[in-house]
A and B are shown apart, each in its own frame.
Chain A
Amino acid sequence: MSSITLTNIRKRFGALEVIKGVDISIADGEFAVFVGPSGCGKSTLLRMIAGLESISDGEFRLDGELMNDVSPDKRGLAMVFQSYALYPHMTVAENIGFSLDLKGVDKAEIKRRVGAVADKLQLGKLLDRKPQALSGGQRQRVAIGRAIIKEPKVILFDEPLSNLDAALRVQMRAELQELHRTTKSTIIYVTHDQVEAMTLADRIVVLSEGQVKQADHPIALYKQPDNLFVGQFIGSPKMNVFQARVEAVDDTSARIVTADGWTVALDSVKGLSAGETVQLGIRPEDLSLAEPSNADITVQAILSERLGMETYVSFQTKGEPAIARIAGDHRIGTGEQVPLKINRNACHLFDSTGRAIRRS
């Protein structure tokens, strides 16, 4: 069992507070991903868990035990660094076995355990190489080997795929999932890439400006963002937002009019009153091409990007330009009128402060 609870964690550098009271709990065996734009404090938070940064305030408990002042190596954690930090003067085997060697484990035992780890990660043939002689993916595996040989309670990953090219990243994502499935260890993983977060996580913690914006299963985040920030951060291209006003309400539905004069009737909406200002969030994939006769809205295209299997159409609105992600290949010229249909069930509503208005 290795569960983690962070209670009201804060980090100050002098007068600057970078982590502003974070509460997170991570269950045993969970793959948790901290995600957020750069500067949101996700790496700092990870380093505080690792013990590489001090905790200014709050409590960090691992299996119920207070860890605030325990030194990094005594916490029972392992970390995979962004640069991997493989010691260039040691072979792969020496790198993986370094922590055991420091503990004074005898040579034969180290060799046996390094061998076991290497087999698991398909590093068996590379044990005598130096890190410089390895490919990016192999280095990544050595770094993971160095972490799992300690049989840690929790493995921490700090943006481990950011140095790899796109194709390798996809492959390493699959390997990480496999690793998690076979070791069943608790993992905390930091990334700024929401695709990585979506594909890997059991649970995503979205951070912004040192605060948790929402923590939930990836699909829950996608389907029911708590706030506009999460709505826009998860999903690519990002969610379109239209300033709007509630025109009329009845028991279960509301009619919303956007600044562009588009009228959208949404059902399963409660707690709104007529005249209220709201923000209407529509994901690009929830806008589809329609026949002019049954279109919800008709927009003027600024630019279309043809990807083959789909077409992104940017169009002008009163606010920021918006994007529709249309299935199939379409040739749409600049300035052309495009009739679009809105998937009403997937529309999101936020109040003027950005907090989500739940639809049941």
Chain B
Amino acid sequence: MAERPDTPKTAASRYGLLFVISLYCIMPFVWLLTAAFDPGAGLFLEVPAKVDLSNFFRVFQEEDGLLWLMNSLIVCGGATLLVLVLSGFGGYALSRTHAWWKRPFLYAIILVRVIPPTALIVPLYKVMLTCNLAIAGVVRSVVPPDYVRSVMRFVGFIDGYLGLILLLATMHLPLALWIMKTFFDSVSREYEEAAIMDGATFGQRLRRVLLPLAMPGLAASGLFAFIAAWGDFLFPLTFISSPELKMLPLGIYSAFLRDSQIDYGLLAAIAVIYTAPAIIAFALARRFLVQTFGGGLKG
């Protein structure tokens, strides 16, 4: 709206309403931040008697905080990396092709985005189980029995990194493909043609011309994939059960469900550790949010 000075009454209601909305949005954070730095924190919001980092130390000393963090980073990092590669190549192909399958494929990836993951969870479990058995068969035939378990931890589909990485990457691939397709649509073909005239092979065009040009698009699709994978709760909940593969969201969830006295300071500290990367990624992704809306659904 055109900037017209507020009358005192309008100004009061404007800032008053904004204050109330902001309060609503920020209140829940107050407890989390207070509790994380309060060694004696409880479920209720209170002024801490003492403020220190002991909760954070305990996450890494008494609990397997480091393990959970590493597992989350491996799985989400792996999924993000996979999404970047697949969506980079796939988006390029989708943008440049005029083949008959282009339109049906684009429609399909929008429809895939609207399917609630919970609706797929049962058949997915069976697919993952089948894959896991197949992989286990292969692993057993090539690896000495003592090592099967530790190898399966990496390549297994149930209770293994590989399966979860593939699954999370697939779930967030449609949005990334869409972003990259739209992005490459805006990259003039003339850049590539100029490179062809300059004598660049496909490999050189990819590395020297397309990749640098695609960086903003890849940043957007990578950030969205990371945010979505990082925040996902359903898939780790369903497909991870062994403690050595536990990820941050499950660490929080199980610490919260503990029957004995819940250690809220510890819980809040884990939550802060888990939330920080998400907030940073979100802040970085913010400027892509609106452009992406056309094809993507909120994650």
Contacts and interface: CB of A to CB of B under 8 A. Distances in A.
B209 A78 contact: no
B212 interface: yes
B194 interface: yes
B77 to A, nearest CB: 25
Interface in B192-206: 193-200, 204
Interface stretch (A84-92, A204-212, A256-264, A329-337): A84-92
Contacts of A150: 198
A102 B198 contact: yes
B190 A83 contact: yes
B200 A72 contact: no
B105 interface: no
Nearest to B211: A89
A73 B212 contact: no
B198 A81 contact: no
Interface centre among A79, A81, A85 (most CB of B within 10 A): A85
Given A87-B212, A88-B213, A89-B213, A82 B190 contact: yes
Contact of A73 (B196, B208, B215): B196
Interface in B212-241: 212-213, 215
A77 B197 contact: yes
In which size bucket is the chain B interface? 10 to 19
Nearest to A158: B190
A83 B213 contact: no
B198 A98 contact: yes
Given A87-B209, A88-B213, A72 B196 contact: yes
A50 B199 CA distance: 12
Contact of B193 (A52, A77, A87): A52
A89 B212 contact: yes
A73 B199 contact: yes
A99 interface: yes
Given A87-B212, A88-B213, A89-B212, A103 B199 contact: yes
A74 B198 CA distance: 9
A81 B193 contact: yes
A85 B191 CA distance: 5
Nearest to A95: B194
B197 A102 contact: no
B28 to A, nearest CB: 43
Contacts of B200: 73, 102
B188 A102 contact: no
Contacts of B212: 87, 89
A92 B204 CA distance: 19
Residue of B198, B199, B209 with highest tally of chain A CB at under 10 A? B198
B204 A81 contact: no
Interface string B169-200: 00000000000000000001011011111111
A83 B209 contact: no
B191 A87 contact: yes
B157 to A, nearest CB: 40
Which of the listed residues B194, B196, B213 has the most CB atoms from chain A within 10 Å of its own CB?
B194
B6 to A, nearest CB: 39
Given A81-B194, A85-B190, A99 B213 contact: no
Contacts of A98: 195, 198, 208
Nearest to A47: B193
B188 A83 contact: yes
A88 B211 CA distance: 12
Given A85-B188, A85-B191, A79 B204 contact: no
A78 B197 contact: yes
A276 B211 CA distance: 67
B63 to A, nearest CB: 45
A99 B204 CA distance: 11
B209 A81 contact: no
A73 B204 CA distance: 13
A83 B215 CA distance: 20
Contacts of B195: 87, 98
A178 B151 CA distance: 70
Interface string A82-122: 11110111000000001100110000000000000000000
Contacts of A103: 199
Contact of A79 (B188, B194, B213): B194
Contact of B197 (A50, A83, A87, A88): A50
Contacts of B193: 50, 52, 79, 81, 85
A219 to B, nearest CB: 33
B197 to A, nearest CB: 5
Given A82-B190, A85-B191, A72 B213 contact: no
Contact of B196 (A52, A88, A89): A52
18 contacts: A50-B193, A52-B196, A72-B197, A73-B197, A77-B197, A79-B193, A81-B193, A81-B194, A83-B188, A85-B188, A85-B190, A85-B193, A87-B194, A87-B213, A88-B213, A89-B213, A102-B199, A103-B199
Interface of A: 50-52, 72-74, 77-79, 81-85, 87-89, 98-99, 102-103, 146, 150
Interface of B: 188, 190-191, 193-200, 204, 208-209, 212-213, 215
Given A73-B196, A78-B197, A79-B194, 10 more contacts: A50-B193, A52-B196, A79-B193, A82-B190, A85-B193, A85-B194, A89-B215, A98-B198, A99-B199, A103-B199
Q: Which 4 residue pairs are nearest across A and B when measured between Cβ atoms?
A: A73-B199, A99-B198, A85-B190, A89-B212
